Chains A and B, each alone.
Chain A
C-alpha cells in the first residue's frame, strides 16, 4: 500500500514555532492577564480573522492543563478497558484533540449548546460530566450517564448544554442547526457549536442545514474537527477541497490551530460574537488524533508512526500548555507532574467505582422508549414469556 504521507506529514508539523514568543516573570496573582500569541495566525474566509494575541490568566492555563490531563488519562484508560473487553462495541478516542474541548469551554457558558458525533467522551467531561458517569456508561453499567443504555457514542447532558453523542455520521449537524433555531426562537442570546469531522464534511445534510442556518441567521457555529483522516481515508482522498473552513461558500469561516487551546478559545469567542449578530460561521480546527478512528483501527495502516510521533512531539496540546506554565513560572515541573499523577489517581478511582456499578435491571430494556407510554405493551424476544407495559 503506497503511502504518500510525506506531504501531509510536513503539513501537519508546520507549526514548529515555540508557543511563547516572550518570557516574563509574573507575580503569583493567578487572575492577572497574560497575553499569549497563538502558534499561527488565524486564516479567514470571507471574514476578518481575530487577532492572534489571546488574553488568559494563570488560573485558566492551570485549568487547561488539569482538564486536558484528565481527558488524556480517561481516554488512555478507556483503551485499556476496551482491550480488557470491559468496553464493547465501538469506542472512538479523542486523545490529541483535547485542546478543542477545553478551549471551547473557556469561551462559552453551559447555556450555549454543544453537539458532536461519536468521539464524545471528552466533550462530555468538559460540559460537566463526571468520570464515574463516563466509565460506567462505557462499561454499560447503571451509573452511566445514559444508565448504560447508550454506550460510548451516546453520552448526553442536557443540563450542561450537551446534546450528544451521535452515531450516524453527519446527522448531528442538522440537529445542531435545530438547536440554534430553538435558541433564536427563544431569543436567549446563546449559540450552538455543532462539531463534525473531516469525514462528515462532505455530507449533503451539512449543506442543507447550513443553507437553512444562513437563510434564517441562526446562531449556529459549525466546527470541523479536522484530524485529517476520515476513518482510514486521508482528507485529500475524500475531498476535492479539504479547505473545510472555505466550504461554506457564502458562510464565513476561520481556520484555527486545534492543538492550541488558546487559539481555540479565541476562535470560539470570536465565533460566538459573530453568530449572535450575523448568523452561522464555520470553524476548522486543525487537530490530530493519536489513536486510530476507533479501537478496531490500529491507526497505522494509512499513516506512518513517524507522523504520529512527530505530531506528539511538536504539537501536543498538553505539552504546549506545560511549556507556557513553566515559561511563565506559574508552576514547576514537579507540580505539573503531581497534577498528572492526581489525574491518573482520579481516573483509577473512577474506574474502580464504575466496575462496582451493577448492570442495569432487565426492566430497563423497556424504560425510556417513550416519555409517555400510556401503558402500551411491549415484548421481549419471546413475546409469550416477556411482556412489559411501557410507563
Chain B
C-alpha cells in the first residue's frame, strides 16, 4: 500500500518574495535540452498533476499531511499575475477525505531514518515501506535559521532511503511519479521558491505514463571546460553562471543531479573525464555535504583526470541569519559559482586567507 506524506521538512510559512532574482528568462534561453516544448507549466502544477495522475491510477495511493486537504497546500503563489495553484489543489475535492487526509501537526525525523529506511533490511525483505516523504526543503527567503535547513545530505547518508531533488517541471513530474510507484521510502525534496517557476514541457512529459528514472542525473547543458554539478534551485544558478562563463570562452557542463541518493556517479565521473575540472554547488552546509561526497567519488575514481582541485560552493557554515544582506552572504550566488569555475580553470587565484 502506497502513501505519500507531505511532511513539511521545513515548517511552513507561505514563501515568495519580490526580491528574489527571476530566473525564468535564463531558463528559457537554455531550452536546448528540452524536447520539443509545446507548453509551459509551473513546478507546482507539475507536482499537482503528478499526484493527481498517480492517485487516479492506483486506489491504494493516498496523500496525508499538514494542510494538504482543505487548505489545498500551504505554499500558494503570491505573485500578482499568477493563478493560485497550490500543490495539492483540487485533490481533496476529487478524491475525498479518505484519500486526502489533513493531519494535525507533528514532527518526526526518527521515523524516516529508523523506521522507514531500515525496515526492509531488518526484516530481510518481509516488510517494505512504499512511502514518499515530500515537501519543501531548504532556504526560502527571510525565514530564518530554523526554517532554512537543507536535509538532502542527512537523508542521503542513509542506506535504505532514496533521495530526489527536482529542479524543473519535467523533473517534478517525472521524479514524483517514479517516487510514488517506487516500493522503497523516497524523500522528495522540493523547493518552495521553485513552486512558482515555469518551465517548458513536451507532450511526452505531460503524458500520464511519464516517469524519470531514479539514480540518473541530467546534463542540462553540455560543455568541455568545467563540470558544474547542482541540484534543485542551484541548477538555475549554475545555468546562469554557465551563460556568464560562455562570454569568457569557458564552456561549462551543467549537471542536474536529480537524484541525490543514489548518486549518478558514473555520469558525473564521465563528465569530469571530459572536462578535467569540477565545481559542486549546493545550498546546504558544506561539511559532509553532497559536494563532499561528489568530490570524494571523483578523486577516488578519476584522480588522474583532474587538472585542478575540486571546488565546492555551498551555503555558509553558519545558521541562516534573517537580515537580508547577511542572508545573501549565507547562500551561494551566481557570482560565487562563476568565480569557482574560473579558479578551477586557472583563470583566477583564490584570495581568501586562512586564519
- Would you give the shortest CB distance from A142 to chain B, in whole angstroms? 9
CA distance A215 to B98 in the complex (A): 13
| Interface flag for B110 (CB, 8 Å) | yes
B29 contacts chain A at the CB level, 8 A cutoff: no
Residue-by-residue, is B153-193 near A (CB-CB < 8 Å gives 1, otherwise 0)?
00000011010000000000000000000111000000000
Q: B123, A164: Cβ atoms under 8 Å?
A: yes
- Among B44-103, those with CB < 8 Å from A are 60, 62, 98, 101, 103
**Which stretch, B114-122, B227-235, B313-321, B345-353, touches the partner chain A?**
B114-122
Q: Is the CB of A111 closer than 8 A to any CB of chain B?
A: no
B108 touching A370, Cβ below 8 Å: no
Does B286 count as interface, using CB distance less than 8 angstroms? Answer: no
**Contact flags (1/0) for A159-186 with B, using CB distance below 8 Å?**
0000111111001001100000010011
Q: Does A367 contact B (CB under 8 A)?
A: yes
CA distance A308 to B264 in the complex (A): 58
Provide the residues of chain A in CB contact with B214, threshold 8 Å: 374
- Taking CB atoms, residues of chain A closer than 8 Å to B127 are 156, 158, 163-164
Q: In whole angstroms, how far apart are the Cα atoms of A368 and B125 in the complex?
A: 5
Residues of A within 8 A of B125 (CB): 367-368, 371
- The secondary-structure label for the interface of chain A is loop
- Expressed in whole angstroms, the Cα–Cα distance for A337 and B101 within the complex equals 55
B354 within 8 A of A: no
Q: Which of B98, B106, B120 contacts A368 (CB 8 A)?
A: B120
Q: Which residues does chain B contribute within 8 Å of A80, judged by CB atoms?
A: none
A211 to B162, CA, bound (A): 30
Contact A166 B121 (CB under 8 A): no
When distances are taken between beta carbons in the complex, the residues of chain B under 8 Å from A145 are: 124, 126
Q: Interface size (B, Cβ < 8 Å)? A: 36
Question: Does B142 reach chain A (CB closer than 8 Å)?
Answer: no
CB pair A369 B159 closer than 8 Å: yes
Give A123-156 as 1s and 0s: 1 = Cβ < 8 Å from B's Cβ atoms: 0000000000000000000000111011000101
CB distance from B238 to the nearest CB of A (A): 24
Contact A165-B110, Cβ < 8 Å, known A371-B183, A372-B182, A374-B262: no
Q: Is the CB of A149 within 8 A of B124?
A: yes
Number of interface residues of A (CB under 8 A): 39
Q: Is the CB of B122 within 8 A of A146?
A: yes
B184 and chain A: residue at smallest CB distance: A370
State in angstroms the CA–CA spacing of A367 and B130 once bound together: 17
Q: Is the CB of A147 within 8 A of B104?
A: no
Q: Is B151 an interface residue (CB 8 A)?
A: no
Q: Are B1 and A182 in contact (CB under 8 A)?
A: yes
| Stretch in A233-241, A273-281, A340-348, A377-385 touching the partner | A377-385
In the bound complex, how far is the Cα of B122 from the Cα of A164, in angstroms? 10
Docked-complex contact A175 and B123, CB < 8 angstroms: no
Q: Are A212 and B159 in contact (CB under 8 A)?
A: no
Interface assignment of A247: CB less than 8 Å from any CB of chain B: no
CB distance from B22 to the nearest CB of A (A): 36
Docked pose: A43 CA to B81 CA in angstroms: 63
In A357-376, the 8 Å CB interface with B consists of 367-372, 374, 376
Interface residues in B282-296 by Cβ distance below 8 A to A read none
Pair B123/A154 contact, Cβ less than 8 Å:
yes
Q: Is A88 an interface residue (CB 8 A)?
A: no
Measured CA separation A9–B28 after assembly (Å) = 76
How far does the Cβ of A365 sit from chain B's closest Cβ, in whole Å?
10
Whether a CB of chain A sits under 8 angstroms from the CB of B215 is yes
Contact of B120 among A175, A216, A371 (CB under 8 A): A371
B128 (CB) vs chain A CBs: closest residue: A371
Q: Are A154 and B122 in contact (CB under 8 A)?
A: yes
Contact across chains for B184 and A146 when beta carbons are under 8 A apart: no
**What separation, in Å, do the CA atoms of A372 and B184 have in the docked complex?**
7
**A369 in contact with B122 (CB, 8 Å):** no
* Residue A208 at the chain B interface, CB threshold 8 Å: yes
The smallest C-beta distance from B280 to any residue of chain A, in angstroms, reads: 19
B123 touches A156 (CB 8 A): yes
Which A residues touch B98, using CB under 8 A? 185
Contact A174:B111 (CB < 8 A) given known A374-B214, A377-B265: yes
Q: Any chain B CB within 8 A of the CB of A157?
A: yes
Given contacts A164-B119, A215-B104, contact A150 B114 (CB under 8 A): no
Q: Considering the chains assembled together, what is the distance between the CA atoms of A378 and B265 in angstroms?
A: 11
A146 to chain B, nearest CB (A): 4
Are the C-beta atoms of B120 and A174 separated by less than 8 Å?
Answer: no
Question: With A167-B114, A185-B98, A371-B128 known to touch, is A376 a contact of B120 (CB < 8 Å)?
Answer: no
CA distance A367 to B125 in the complex (A): 8
Contacts of A304 in B (CB 8 A): none
Contacts of A186 in B (CB 8 A): 1
- Contact partner of A171 (CB less than 8 A), chosen from B106, B111, B122, B215, is B111
Beyond A158-B123, A186-B1, A211-B104, 19 extra complex contacts between A and B, CB < 8 Å: A146-B123, A163-B127, A166-B115, A167-B114, A168-B114, A168-B115, A171-B111, A185-B60, A205-B108, A367-B124, A368-B123, A370-B162, A371-B128, A371-B130, A371-B183, A372-B183, A374-B215, A374-B262, A376-B215
Closest 9 CB pairs of A and B: A147-B124, A371-B183, A376-B262, A156-B123, A154-B122, A150-B122, A146-B124, A368-B125, A208-B106
User: Which residues does B use to contact A, with CB under 8 Å?
Assistant: 1, 60, 62, 98, 101, 103-104, 106, 108, 110-111, 114-115, 119-128, 130, 159-160, 162, 182-184, 213-215, 262, 265, 300
List 20 interface pairs A-B (beta carbons < 8 Å), by A numbering: A145-B126, A146-B126, A147-B124, A149-B124, A150-B124, A164-B127, A165-B122, A166-B115, A171-B114, A186-B1, A205-B108, A211-B104, A212-B106, A367-B125, A368-B124, A369-B121, A369-B160, A370-B162, A371-B183, A378-B159
